[in-house]
Amino acid sequence: MTLALAFLLPFMTLLIFGFATRLESQNIPLVVQDFDHTNLSNSYIEKLYATNQFIPKEWTGGNPARDAIDRGIAKVAVIITPQFSRDIKANKTTTIQVLIDATDVNNARVIRGSIQRVTNFFMQEAGLLPTTKRITARIRLWFNPGRLESLYIVPGVYGVILWIFPSLLTAIAMVREKEKGTILQVYASSISATELLLGKGMAYLLIAITEALIVIGLGTIIFQVGLVNNPITLLLGTLIFLIDSVMFGLLVGVRSNNQNSAVQIISLVGFITSLLLSRHKLIMVDIMRYVTHILYIIA
């Protein structure tokens, strides 16, 4: 254990956060709806992708720009008008429309700045600056036009709270049985290990569900972060998430001998990863949960 704390865990932490945590925005999915189809419009599109921030996304729905953002296929859509190159050649001001998913406020700011810089660079390279500004990028922020931080932060806080506290309560409850010696009554009874774990898990799952309802309800009242459309997906996803949290707490509680070690494990494995690993790295969190399930089965 000493060697693991001294060498193995620091090395694993370095790899996880070194590869998974990123502050810059990259690989932003972008849909382009080009109604002009000329060399100038193609050149502008190439400039967008040359920033290495955007990746092309194809969507052939009824309205590629609107539907791609509504369905989460893309984070930004650029619409080039049919008179794009004609207006430029006629020394007229032309307009392109940019639709941005602003649910992530910081990401929306980065996208907005990148589009504006690309537009200015394109005009400069085409010889349209500094004499006149012939291209105007009309940018609209969707889903969060006011750029309210709470609409993005509060749902993320739900995930942190509902992962940390149910697992922490479950782990402490299991360890308390050992510290107070009441686990001996279980040994002397006819209750099997499976029945004990299921009983503890179901009890704290009910507590976790109540906690989730209270937290989401308070978030809706205080921060006006309400539910949109059908809530079944959110409810089912939250239930599965809470089951994972309680199972993780059971694993820690079974393997820990005191409450201090249980709290430290929850803090190290649960809190840090759920707080620092962004939604762009959900695969890392999923891998850790699968590993937790495997360890739980072995235990």
pLDDT in tens, 92-142: 878 888 999 888 777 888 888 888 888 888 887 766 655 555 667 777 777
Across 152-161, 255-264, 281-290, least confident range: 281-290
Q: Check pLDDT > 60 for residue 283.
A: no
Q: Check pLDDT > 50 for residue 260.
A: yes
Quote the Cα angle for 256-261-265, to 5°. Answer: 90
**Tokens (6 digits) for 89:** 């050649």
Residue 284 exposed, middle or buried by CB count within 10 Å (0-12, 13-18, 19+): middle
Give me the pLDDT at residue 2, please.
62
Give 268's pLDDT tier (boundaries 50, 70, 90). Answer: confident
Give 287's pLDDT tier (boundaries 50, 70, 90). Answer: very low
Give me the pLDDT at residue 210, please.
92
Radius of gyration for the alpha carbons in the chain, expressed in angstroms and rounded: 26
**Tokens (6 digits) for 88:** 């430029």
Give me the pLDDT at residue 246, please.
92
Residue tagged 């925005």 (tokens)? 25
Q: What is the mean pLDDT of the chain?
A: 78
Q: Check pLDDT > 90 for residue 14.
A: no
Across 24-38, 53-67, 142-156, 279-293, least confident range: 279-293
Instruction: Give me the half-sphere count of Cα atoms (radius 13 Å) on the Cβ side of residue 241.
Output: 22
Cβ proximity of 162 and 249 under 8 Å: no
Cβ proximity of 77 and 32 under 8 Å: yes
**3 state DSSP class of 31:** strand
Q: CA separation (Å) from 296 to 31, 39, 106, 177, 248?
A: 43, 59, 38, 19, 8
Give me the pLDDT at residue 286, please.
47
Tell which wins on pLDDT, 6 or 51. Answer: 51
Cβ proximity of 283 and 239 under 8 Å: no
pLDDT in tens, 146-178: 767 777 778 878 888 888 889 989 998 888 888
Predicted TM-score (pTM) of the model is 0.59
Give me the pLDDT at residue 203, please.
92
Element (H, E) at 247: helix 232-255
Give me the pLDDT at residue 242, please.
92
Residue tagged 């996304």 (tokens)? 57
Q: What percent of the chain shows pLDDT beyond 90? A: 9
**Tokens (6 digits) for 76:** 């930004």
Tell which wins on pLDDT, 43 or 4. Answer: 43
- Report the pLDDT averaged over residues 58-83: 82
Give 228's pLDDT tier (boundaries 50, 70, 90). Answer: confident
E-only strand ranges, the chain = 28-34, 54-56, 76-80, 94-101, 135-142
Cβ proximity of 148 and 190 under 8 Å: no
